[in-house]
Amino acid sequence: MAEARAAAGRKSHKGRSAAGQAASRRELISRSVHSAEQCLRDHDYGTAYAHYLLVLSLAPELKQDFKETFQYALFKWAEELYALNRNQDLFNCYEQAFELYPNDDVICNSMGEQLFRLGFRDEAAGYFYKALKLNPDSAEAKENFYRVANWLVERWHFIMLNDKKRNLMYQRAIEKAVQAGCRTVLDIGTGTGILSMFAKRVGASHVYACELSRTMYDLACEVVAANEMQGGIKLLHMKSHDIQVPEHIPEKISLVVTETVDAGLFGEGILESLIHAWKNLLLEPKNKDFHSERYGQVIPAGAVVLGMALECPEIRKHHRVFVKEVAGVKLGVQFSSPVHSGPKNDDVAEPYSTEKMSRVPGGYKALSQPFQALTVDFNSLQDLESIASGKTCRISVQIHEQGQLDCFITWFVLHLDEEHSLSTEPSEETCWEQAVFPIQNLPADGYLVKPGDIVVVDVSCPDCYLRLDLVSVSRGGKLDHTTSCSNMVSGNELCDALASLHTSHQQDIVQGPCILDPNEIAMLNNTAYHESFKVAINKVISSLAPGDNWASNGVLSSEEHYSDALYVLDVSEGFSILPLIAAQLGKVKSYSSVEEEQHCATLQKLTERNGMSKESLEFWLNQLDTDDDVLKRPKSDKLWSIIILDLVEPCGLIRQEVMEKAAIARCLLQSGGKIFPHAVAIYGMLIESPTLLQECAVQGTEPTLGLHIAPFINHFKVPVQVFLNLSTLPCVSLSDPLELLRLDLMDPCLNSFSFAHDLKVQICKSGQVTAIPFWYHIHLDEDITLDTSQETSHWKQAAFVLDSPFHVVQGEEILLGVHLQNSNISMTLKRPQQ
């Protein structure tokens, strides 16, 4: 009895407490919600976040209602943790958030952003990818994923994997070596694992593959498993230099296969990798005198680097400022592109750029025959070491055509073995680009060469990059001392050369030339661009400035003179001389948003040398504390007369931030003031281009000789291809160009960046639509327009590539859906309903 009572008591006690607990749970939840809300109002995000966490773990049924507020608290708190460098806490928060919302694209995307800014790009990609899968319409996830995809899986992977000829040649060479007795294989820089799978397929007994990129290694694991070779290929996520026998590989191997070569052959470090492999990983090489069954060998066996002197206006345009005066501004300073054989410790210097010469707009002219620049035997450690030590070879190149000496280009023939070779020469149908060595720093009249002239170059490979240094040009058999020069921008030789050649001021020689990005150089050379701005700016200035005291002459030096000045702000990205063009047009105070010290100094020099007063040019960003303030009034009692925005990137995309800036800019203009441009029209057309498809995604199993690679690497495909040269892209137009979308930047309603509509397109030729390239008409005002598809422009074009080709018939009408969300453009095709 006593026991029963006790039990009943316990029961009733339990019953009471259940009801009580529910009540106190409710009470706790409501108090926590209340506190959380209070904390949010007080900007105490950490505590708010903790309260919401408690609320949602107590009351999961509230998850939906509180989702957005919870995310807000989480993101705000994460910002603080990031600022405090409390990264572990930050990730713990996200982990808790994922427990509550395991399939939320917004949290996933945000986690990716955190990882990305902390440098974990591979991991970030995974989260962006997941976010995009969870919500295919998420503009943020799309933008983020495409950005990292481009970064993690470089676009040439698609191009190389689609190059069937190259794949076949490698497979044959590997097969031959394996059949000749090479049983153990190491693939250096395996990428997706293709060469390793070839080796396995043709009978190698042990295959090892190393890959230093995390993303590519993960991809290779997936691909190898999908091709059911995971048992036969050992993948190592490491740089080949770190491989040791027997830790990673049980014994020395007989064959190294690799395609770690770039357009300049050595840029992926093949010399160092093979020197290390010969010393540590490979069996002894084949010995002529002493015949052994087991020896080490490398595919490719060797290579020949060939070069040629060229005239090429497009390359000139990107690497040499050849205009002396731009829209009235004299360019009396020295500019230089970062692409030159500078000294090793020079951060900005790139030894060469790469270009697919067969597709350079405007083409090129060969000024010399091809010459052999260098040969390398990858099976000779001695040869590898000699080249890596910086051995220089001086070559005299005979000029046989008259023209401007704009650059040297190089390509190579890769001898996989005695029988199988690949050539990357411009005329070859290959995936390869060529290395371009622009000629710079000659006096203006020094570039013209004639048949019979001799150009002397030094070829070397001192720091793993191929170098071509111009030594001298001898004209008509006589060494021309005025052009005897070094391509280097520093060093005594050049200083001497500059001192004697240029009338430029002593200051330039001390500071060196102003280094501009090739796109910035192309822009400076674009006179039409600057002239158009000059006319448009002048119109606004004359409409706003009464009287003739606005004449541009007469140096105004003191601050008072500017009290009634017009204010012009240029928020262009990078180097821009538009503020100087504006400043010479009257009583104008120009603000430049150039940031680099060297660029500021150059603009100041130009102001001075063009006889403009110091006060006419100010640097806007220097006066601001944070980026958020980029757009504000010039002075508390002043508004801007002109705000210049830089809406289109050189790669052919719209800058999203600029659209946002435009919305603010509109409100900061004085009456009659203008934003440049005032409108932008996006143009496009339907094309059939197998080439573009091949650069975008691996086309099935055919090019990869039956191996399943496409579905895996194609995860990383992006729909918009950039930096295209539309004028030389192999393609057929299936429609005329048409206006796709017009953005009116002066429209007060333009503050959301999502546009969508359908357009009717007339088909002018039957075919498969694979892509829609697009470009812009930038309307500075009603009369003045810049077209970014013109060959003189410094812009390239972009294209939206369809997921699958769309068949069209001549004469029919198709509906083209255009959708712009932030800076993402996407397009769809469909037939109109009958």
- The residue ranges that bind ligand 44T (CB under 6 A) are 156, 159-160, 188-189, 191, 210-213, 216, 239-240, 259-260, 262-263, 268-269, 273, 354, 431-433
**Paired strand residues for 448:** 404
- Closer to ligand 44T by CB, 138 or 240: give it: 240
Least distance (Å) from ligand 44T to the CB of residue 676? 35
Name the amino acid, one letter, at 416.
L
Instruction: Tell me how crowded residue 786 is: count the other CB atoms within 10 A of its CB.
Output: 21
Residue with smaller CB distance to ligand 44T, 464 or 732 = 464
Cα distances (angstroms) measured from residue 593 to each of 374, 588, 608, 616 = 45, 16, 18, 14
Q: How far is CA 291 from CA 176, 215, 294, 452, 798, in A?
A: 19, 42, 9, 50, 57
Token reading at 754: 């999502």
Q: Which residues pair with 797 in a beta bridge?
A: 724
Nearer to ligand 44T, 236 or 681 (CB): 236
Closest approach, Cβ 663 to ligand 44T, in A, equals 38
Judge contact between 461 and 388, C-beta under 8 A.
yes
CB of 230 to ligand 44T, least distance (A): 19
- Gap between the terminal Cα atoms of the chain: 87
224 phi/psi in degrees, rounded to 5: -60, -40
Beta bridge partner(s), residue 470: 457
Nearest distance, CB of residue 778 and ligand 44T, angstroms: 29
Residues in the chain: 834
Supply the DSSP symbol for 651. T
- C-beta of 214 vs 505, nearer to ligand 44T: 214
In angstroms, rounded to a whole number, what is the distance separating the alpha carbons of residues 675 and 640?
Answer: 9
Nearer residue to ligand 44T within complex by CB, 449 or 724: 724
Q: Contacts from 803-806 at CB under 8 Å and sequence distance 24+?
A: 803/719, 805/688, 805/693, 805/768, 805/769, 805/770, 806/768, 806/769
What is the phi/psi pair of residue 458, to 5°?
-100, 125
Residue 273 or 519 having the CB closest to ligand 44T: 273
The least distance separating ligand 44T from the CB of residue 573, rounded to whole angstroms, comes to: 25
How many whole angstroms separate alpha carbon 666 and alpha carbon 660?
10
Go through 101-113 and write b for each residue having 16 or more CB atoms within 10 A of its CB, e for each that does not. Answer: beebbbbbbbbbb
- Residue 112 CB, shortest distance to ligand 44T, in Å, is 22
Question: Quick check: 718 and 150 in contact, CB under 8 A?
Answer: yes
Secondary structure percentages of the chain, helix, strand, coil, to 5 = 40, 25, 35
Contact assessment for residue 487 and residue 469, using Cβ atoms and an 8 Å cutoff: yes
Work out how close the CB of 426 gets to ligand 44T at its nearest, in angstroms, rounded to a whole number: 13
Q: How far apart are CA 72 and CA 45, in angstroms?
A: 9
Q: What is the closest distance, in whole angstroms, from the C-beta atom of residue 318 to ligand 44T in the complex? A: 17
Tokens 């150059």, residue located: 602
Minimum CB separation of residue 277 from ligand 44T in Å reads: 9
Q: Which is nearer to ligand 44T, 268 or 401 (CB)?
A: 268
* CB closer to ligand 44T out of 38 and 244: 244
Neighbours of 590 (CB within 10 A): 28
Q: CB-wise, 249 or 685, nearer to ligand 44T?
A: 249
Cβ distance 221 to 235 under 8 Å?
A: yes
- What's the closest the beta carbon of residue 157 comes to ligand 44T, in angstroms? 8
**Shortest separation between residue 432's beta carbon and ligand 44T, angstroms:** 5
Shortest Å distance, C-beta 153 to ligand 44T: 9
Q: Which of 241, 207, 240 is nearest to 224 (CA)?
A: 207
Q: Which is closer to ligand 44T, CB of 170 or CB of 335?
A: 170
Angle between helices 105-117 and 87-100 (to 10 degrees): 170
Q: Which residues contact 25 (CB under 8 A, 6 or more apart)?
A: 58, 59
Closest approach of ligand 44T to the CB of residue 197, in Å: 15
To ligand 44T, the closest distance from the beta carbon of 624 in angstroms equals 39
Cβ-based nearer residue to ligand 44T, 127 or 412: 412
Q: Give the Cα separation of 648 and 474 in Å (integer).
A: 44
Of 66 and 156, the one with the shorter C-beta distance to ligand 44T is: 156
3-state SS track over 272-308: HHHHHHHHHCECCECCCCCCCCCCEEEECCEEEEEEE
Residues 798/653, Cβ–Cβ less than 8 Å? yes
Our CB check for ligand 44T shows the closer of 188 and 349 to be 188
Q: What is the separation of C-alpha 720 from the centre of its chain, rounded to a whole number of angstroms?
A: 13
As a whole number of angstroms, the distance between CA 543 and CA 564 comes to 15
Quote the least distance from Cβ 541 to ligand 44T, whole Å.
46
Q: Shortest CA distance to 237 belongs to which of 259, 261, 208? A: 208
Question: Measured from the CB of residue 805, what is the shortest distance to ligand 44T in angstroms?
Answer: 23
Closest C-alpha to 161, from 691, 695, 690: 695
* Element (DSSP H or E) covering residue 655: none
Residue 311 to residue 26: CA distance in whole angstroms: 80
CB 733, CB 687: distance < 8 Å = yes
Quick count: other Cβ atoms within 10 Å of Cβ 181?
A: 12
The minimum distance between CB 188 and ligand 44T, in angstroms, equals 5
- When CB distances to ligand 44T are compared, the closest residue is 189
Please state the closest distance from residue 259 (CB atom) to ligand 44T, in A.
6
Of the pair 318, 779, the CB lying nearest ligand 44T is at 318
Comparison of 239 and 708: residue with beta carbon closer to ligand 44T: 239
Token output for 381 = 């450690």
Which residues have a Cβ under 8 Å from the Cβ of 92 and sit 6 or more positions away? none
Query: Residue 32 or residue 190: which is nearer to ligand 44T going by CB?
Result: 190
Please say which residue, 315 or 454, places its beta carbon nearer to ligand 44T.
315
Give whichever of 105 and 425 is closer to ligand 44T, judged by the CB atom: 425
